């Protein structure tokens, strides 16, 4: 019989850092609330959650890298929101922020959860920040915890 590994969501004793983009803060503050609530509900002590605000989504990878390199950091949750405008700026920011977040995870061998909303409208973003579609900040936090659980079993 093959071995099957699932990640536990028990995060007791874990340290999780959350990096949040200040741009579109109406949305990102809600993502942060969702992430912190999810972390605390699964055993991360409130004093083991550090929140770092950065100017925008483009800065998420560098701040995530700084945090992930710290020995006491178990995982990082990167949260941001980019809403399409009338120029191609959206495409560049989304693409490079996404690539950078992935790169940090692979480079540091630590979970860096992707909580960057890439939406067409503010309405879509609000639906994903605690509205009809749920809270993607909470989802990103849960992803980080599940990946920690998987890593501990490998």
The strand pairing partners of 134, in sequence order, are 131
**Average pLDDT rounded to a whole number, residues 146-152:** 94
Structural domains in the chain, sorted by start: 32-119+132-149 (3.40.50.960)
Angle at 42 between CA 150 and CA 126, to 5 degrees: 100
Q: So which residues are the catalytic ones?
A: 89
pLDDT in tens, 92-138: 998 999 999 999 999 999 999 999 999 999 999 999 999 999 999 99
Residue with tokens 């890593």: 151
Which of 65, 64, 54, 67 lies closest to 28 in space, CA to CA? Answer: 54
* Average confidence score pLDDT of the chain: 95
How far apart CA 114 and CA 146 sit, in angstroms, is 13
Q: How confident is the model at residue 59 (pLDDT cuts 50, 70, 90)?
A: very high
pLDDT in tens, 45-55: 999 999 999 99
Helices (H), the chain: 25-41, 60-68, 89-108, 122-127, 136-153
Question: pTM score, two decimals?
Answer: 0.95
């Amino acid at each position: 019989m093959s071995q099957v590994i699932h990640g536990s969501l028990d995060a007791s004793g874990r340290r999780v850092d959350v990096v949040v983009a200040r741009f579109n803060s109406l949305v990102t503050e809600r993502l942060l609330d969702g992430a912190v609530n999810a972390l605390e509900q699964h055993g991360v002590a409130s004093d083991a959650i550090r929140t770092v605000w950065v100017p925008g989504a483009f800065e998420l990878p560098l701040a995530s890298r700084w945090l992930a390199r710290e020995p006491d950091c178990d995982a990082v949750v990167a949260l941001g929101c980019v809403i399409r405008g009338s120029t191609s700026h959206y495409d560049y920011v989304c693409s490079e922020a996404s690539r950078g977040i992935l790169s940090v995870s692979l480079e540091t061998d630590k979970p860096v959860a992707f909580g960057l909303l890439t939406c067409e409208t503010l309405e879509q973003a609000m639906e994903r920040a605690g509205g009809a579609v749920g809270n993607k900040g909470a989802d990103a936090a849960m992803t980080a915890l599940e990946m920690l659980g998987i890593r501990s079993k490998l």
